[in-house]
């Protein structure tokens, strides 16, 4: 994997060592201890959760990353990434990424959960009635109509989530660039990947908030409890989809491709 700067994440360079199979080439002697590798790995994970390291820790981290890259490029060892979180945002950028998903999910839950729940309930009753009367054709039409309604709302929610995620991600990544912890190209990559993640999180927020609101409504709740359920469902759905998106490696793939385009 190409490393764009000394501040590139540790896990994007390596987490495991294996002997090089290059013929007639003697492996270089490692100059990074196992203790340093494990220390950098732990710090890497903490930064993914929003931890901002001290200047001393950041310098030590950068030195370890640079040393690992040097060994790899010399052909002595091949470093392999063994985690799905190989290049996700870190520090303030990680906080901004999560904040964008929480805020957008909450708003979507507040704004659209009632509509989704109403469409879902009406669709359920219509399909049930059609099946009971033996009119399967009408049931399928009602199901398609309900799916279309939820789909339209999901598209609106996706747009809102993408816009909010992009805005907050831009601000937090600018802060990371100004602090010297990442490059401008990495910031652009984070914002691009966060924006796409916002689209997916918007859909997740729509579905989860609608289900939460529908469940509370069927349980007989009214008023504020339903509103709270919608907002909470939106946040949970948004964050879960974002976690799955980053865990799948899609965030990393999109970020890396964006950075390469800027080279």
Is residue 65 located within the same domain as residue 189?
A: no
Percent of the chain with pLDDT over 90: 30
Is residue 224 located within the same domain as residue 248?
A: yes
Distance CA 130, CA 141 (A): 10
Question: Using only C-alpha atoms, what is the Rg of the chain?
Answer: 23
Domain that holds residue 145: 92-262
Give Cα 88 to chain centroid, integer Å. Answer: 8
Is residue 193 located within the same domain as residue 161?
A: yes
Give the residue, 26 or 245, on which the prediction is more confident: 245
Tell me the β-bridge partners of 18.
78
Whole-model pTM? 0.70
Q: Could you read off the pLDDT of 144-185 as tens digits, one per residue?
A: 888 888 889 999 999 999 999 999 999 999 998 998 888 889
Say if 113 falls within a structural domain: yes
SS3 content of the chain, % helix, strand, coil (to 5): 75, 5, 25
Is residue 186 located within the same domain as residue 216?
A: yes
Q: Could you read off the pLDDT of 104-149 as tens digits, one per residue?
A: 999 999 998 888 888 888 887 887 787 777 778 877 887 888 888 8
- State the total domains in the chain: 2
SS3 call for 80: strand
Is residue 104 located within the same domain as residue 184?
A: yes
- φ/ψ (deg, to 5) at 9: -60, 145
SS3 call for 54: coil
Is residue 214 located within the same domain as residue 138?
A: yes
Is residue 70 located within the same domain as residue 109?
A: no
Distance CA 197, CA 200 (A): 5
Say if 4 falls within a structural domain: no
Is residue 246 located within the same domain as residue 132?
A: yes
Is residue 101 located within the same domain as residue 44?
A: no
Give Cα 190 to chain centroid, integer Å. Answer: 10
Q: Cα(first)–Cα(last) distance of the chain, in Å?
A: 15
Instruction: For residue 71, give both structure tokens.
Output: 């060994």
**CA-wise closest residue to 100 among 166, 186, 153, 176:** 166
CB-count exposure of residue 233 (10 Å: 0-12, 13-18, 19+) = buried
Asked whether 116 and 157 are in contact (CB, 8 A), the reply is: no
Is residue 176 located within the same domain as residue 232?
A: yes
Distance CA 31, CA 14 (A): 14
User: What's the per-residue H, E or C state across 211-239?
Assistant: HHHHHHHHCCCCCHHHHHHHHHHHHHHHH
Q: Could you read off the pLDDT of 193-237 as tens digits, one per residue?
A: 999 999 999 999 999 998 888 888 878 777 888 889 899 999 999
**CA-wise closest residue to 96 among 45, 164, 178, 184:** 164
């Amino acid at each position: 994997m190409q490393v764009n700067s000394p501040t590139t994440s540790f896990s994007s360079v390596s987490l495991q060592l294996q002997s090089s199979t290059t013929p007639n080439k003697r492996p270089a002697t490692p100059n990074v201890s196992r203790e340093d590798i494990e220390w950098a790995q732990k710090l890497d994970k903490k930064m993914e959760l929003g931890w901002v390291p001290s200047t001393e820790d950041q310098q030590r981290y950068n030195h370890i990353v640079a040393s690992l890259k040097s060994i790899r490029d010399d052909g002595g060892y091949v470093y392999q990434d063994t985690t799905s979180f190989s290049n996700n945002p870190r520090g303030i950028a990680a906080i901004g990424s999560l904040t964008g998903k929480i805020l957008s999910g909450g708003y979507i839950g507040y704004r659209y959960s009632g509509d989704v729940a109403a469409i879902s309930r009406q669709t359920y009753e219509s399909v049930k009635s059609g099946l009971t009367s033996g009119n399967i054709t009408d049931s399928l039409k009602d199901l398609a109509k309900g799916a279309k309604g939820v789909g339209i709302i999901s598209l609106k929610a996706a747009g809102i989530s993408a816009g909010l995620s992009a805005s907050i991600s831009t601000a937090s990544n600018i802060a990371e660039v100004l602090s010297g912890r990442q490059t401008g190209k990495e910031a652009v990559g984070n914002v691009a990947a966060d924006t796409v993640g916002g689209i997916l999180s918007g859909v997740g927020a729509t579905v989860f908030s609608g289900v939460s609101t529908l469940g509370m409504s069927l349980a007989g709740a009214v008023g504020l409890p339903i509103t709270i359920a919608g907002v909470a469902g939106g946040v949970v759905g948004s964050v879960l989809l974002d976690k799955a998106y980053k865990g799948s490696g899609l965030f990393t793939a999109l970020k890396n491709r964006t950075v390469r385009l800027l080279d």
